[in-house]
Structure 1
């Protein structure tokens, strides 16, 4: 007899789903499927001759739209979620200790509140070998080298208190050799996880996971509420989409000519330009927000800076890129896409419409400019607080990129501005927000602080 346990990864925002079941019985369950994983999961099940009987959600996800509706429609499977989830769709309500049978495989429900009140993990048991779990699908409770953030559904201290019990009284009671497969790897905002590994064990995490080495509840609660990632404003909307009885439909964006885009802009639409940082800096539609599709953390960064209540026009290299961007934006519940500029920026230029640019400067050029009396640029460092405290340019101003729009008034528009981050992507995004706010003399610093350090230029930790 063969137990099947297959991991389906999306590295963009670090999501992991699972296909688990029995080859002998030809039955399987899918755990935490994302909306853009459905085709792949169906193909995997067909390849292995498996009938998907259950679709299990470990909780109402806040970082991505689930594919449970679409997968259920394709397979006839039953959606299962904890009884406290408060969902509006037909489902099997799970309780602590329930088991889902898939031939010789059992999925045992362990209620683990903390990240969210309804959160569960699934212990995977092969009854042909015994009643002891050999693996556990931990969802957003236990990660590799980290545990889940406690502040998304309830007060962070209350969530951390519940998570302490879930970890120490439930998960850490499993045998040390139990394999751990989390719902997230590096890239997720659901924790501080930075590890790109895809599996671990209970014993290894007990010994080396910083959060699990804290045995005192008060110290754990304090630790869990320090240095948490920023909460994107669309998280509440994603939760409601995942609770809803109505499935979100993935649609290809409509092609728009330059005249149609101009009308939309005049009516209050915004442009999201997903081309490379270099191409965006060279020329773009005035007021556009630049977030490169093929850069790191595309969805998380869009979720932090792009309004969720206004129509969006995409600017991409081509139709395929625009379609890919629309799919990735749908994953984070951003459904206000009016279309994409057909023909790209060349079509906008050919229509005689205005263009803007954000010039770049090297770290050597910035260093020289900072030494000039009376004409030195304002340096705006848009990295996270931890990066800033590890070393920054003397006299720089620290404004994380997702705060630039609201804090643009702190910058003198009469002086030149040099925006810097770690490598140059977040700084171009932030520079685009400043330009949209009417600050004209803005430069992006190529290579960011990585290049600054490599050039041996001065930093401070003051």
Structure 2
């Protein structure tokens, strides 16, 4: 008997393969189906069942693609907003026999109306429940979002409270297997650990510390979450399903001199995404490129990209480009033309134009705040709760994801210093403003972290 977890980088998603005696079930699969096939081979078992704990908003489900490869049956909670075309309905109390495991469906609405959890029962231990796969209902040190139904926030928060009590009654020793870990857009307070127990969460999770259902609802209604534009695309894709997995080669290398031709040949202007480090980008980059390295590509790409504009990547290596392309595929962006690894160096003469981004330190920002110039503005791109907890005095606040719709409110003749928590998101913001024609832009290196240290030392 075994439980294997598969972590998907970028979106901090956790999916699972559970099985024994030649049979296995996959819970919440990604489009990277090769991982589940490899694990099934390792355990010499056949994937017979696929269960989705809810309709996801932040990535395209791999359930249909995996079912096409394995012949497995797919099950999904019965209360989906729209009928899930590729899945059978799973209702509270349904049971699936997977070798010596029994998997029992528990209705746990709140995050979404169709949310379910899956209780794993060990039949070798006299039918003893061992663990529960909680989807986006319960995480480590966090609980699910309840803001996806704007007109029903109070109702959904109340349902989530009831669902959490249902899980709490399973027993303190039950292992919790959540669908996301730290860094996910599905919650802001998740701990770095990727597993926990019901007992630990009852003692430590803020969602369990509310003294009443009313207090819990009030707590949830005060939360401030962001809904990226691409979520609606994910929701629809997860109704109809995607029947093919991510291709083995998700991104091909472009010739070193191909960029000008690519930009001219595109039916509409393409977008360059530079997935190299922030420091490399600030040092030198192609004009018009957007810096979205690592997990920031999944966290913020959906705010800046649409589904018809051609995409080319600038990367350090084939591996980095491929991993970035896979992140985009999970979000439904398949229009990837390829990638480049050659970037003009600052100390060489290149046929293609290049840019760099200036970086400023805390002492320089302090000087500008104390002796402000009429044309200078500190621009904070952090989330609202970050601003409320630690505010930059005299800063203008625009959340990073809102820049595409709000940058028109900014004066291109002014000088903007971009700030965030560490300087990373500020570099993303600077790259976007430069691409939009802002010429006088720099980045506050270290941002709030550096500012707090500077203030302590002053």
8 Å contact kept, 1:133–1:178: yes
Contact kept in structure 2, 1:367 and 1:457, CA below 8 Å? no
1:282 Cα deviation from its structure 2 partner: 2.4
Alpha-carbon spacing, 1:230–1:245, altered in 2? closer, same or farther (3 Å): closer
Q: Contact conserved, 1:191 with 1:228, CA < 8 A, in 2?
A: no
- RMSD (Å), alpha carbons: 2.5
- Consecutive unaligned residues of structure 2, counting only runs of 5 or more, are none
User: Equivalences for 1:236-315 in 2 at 5 Å?
Assistant: 236-251=232-247, 252-256=250-254, 257-264=258-265, 267-293=268-294, 296-315=295-314
Residue range with higher mean Cα deviation, 47-56 or 296-305:
296-305
1:67 to 49, 62, 74: 62
The CA deviation string for residues 334-381 of structure 1, in whole angstroms up to 9 with x for no partner, is 22323334x53249x987233232211222222234444647731111
**Structure-1 residue corresponding to 2:451:** 452
Q: Secondary structure at the match of 1:451?
A: helix
Partners of 2:29 and 2:241 lie apart in 1 by: 17
Are the aligned partners of 2:64 and 2:86 in contact in 1 as well (CA < 8 Å)? no
**Equivalent residues, number:** 450
Q: Deviations over 1:381-409 (max 9, x none)?
A: 11122222233332111212112232224
| Contact preservation (8 Å) 1:394, 1:458 | no
Of 109-118 and 198-207, deviating more is 198-207
**Map of 2:53 onto structure 1:** 58
Helix, strand or coil: the match of 1:124? strand
- Between the aligned partners of 1:394 and 1:379, the Cα distance in structure 2 is 9
Distance (whole Å) between structure 2 residues aligned to residue 150 and residue 162 of structure 1: 9
Residue number among 3, 6, 13 corresponding to 1:5 in the alignment? 3
Within the alignment, does 1:420 sit opposite 2:419 as a pair?
yes
Separation (CA, whole Å) in 2 of partners of 1:448 and 1:172? 40
Q: For each residue in 1:99-122, what CA deviation from the matched residue of structure 2 results, as whole angstroms up to 9, or x when unmatched?
A: 000122100011111111111111
Question: Structure 2 length as normaliser, TM-score?
Answer: 0.90
| 1:364 maps to 2:363 | yes
Structure 1: 5+ residue runs without aligned partners? none
Stretch deviating more after TM superposition (370-379 or 208-217)? 370-379
CA distance in 2, matches of 1:403, 1:458: 34
SS across alignment from 1:134: strand
In 2, distance between residues paired with 1:404 and 1:134?
A: 46
Is the CA contact (8 Å cut-off) linking 1:370 and 1:376 kept in structure 2? no
Q: Secondary structure at the match of 1:84?
A: coil
Moved more, 360-369 or 38-47: 360-369
CA 1:90–1:421 in 2, change beyond 3 Å: closer, same or farther?
Answer: closer
SS of corresponding position for 2:208: coil
TM norm structure 1: 0.90
Following the alignment from structure 2 to structure 1, what is the Cα–Cα distance between the partners of residues 221 and 451? Answer: 32
Q: Is residue 2:114 matched to residue 1:118?
A: yes
The answer to whether the 8 A contact 1:318-1:344 is kept is no
- Measured after TM superposition, the shift of residue 141 of structure 1 is 0.7
Distance 1:91 1:397, change over 3 A: closer
Which whole-Å CA distance do the structure 2 matches of 1:238 and 1:431 have between them? 28
Alpha-carbon spacing, 1:35–1:455, altered in 2? closer, same or farther (3 Å): same
Q: Judge conservation of contact 1:241–1:248 (CA < 8 Å) in 2.
A: no
Match runs of 1:73-222 below 5 Å: 73-85=68-80, 86-153=82-149, 155-168=152-165, 170-222=166-218
1:108/1:123 contact within 8 Å kept: yes
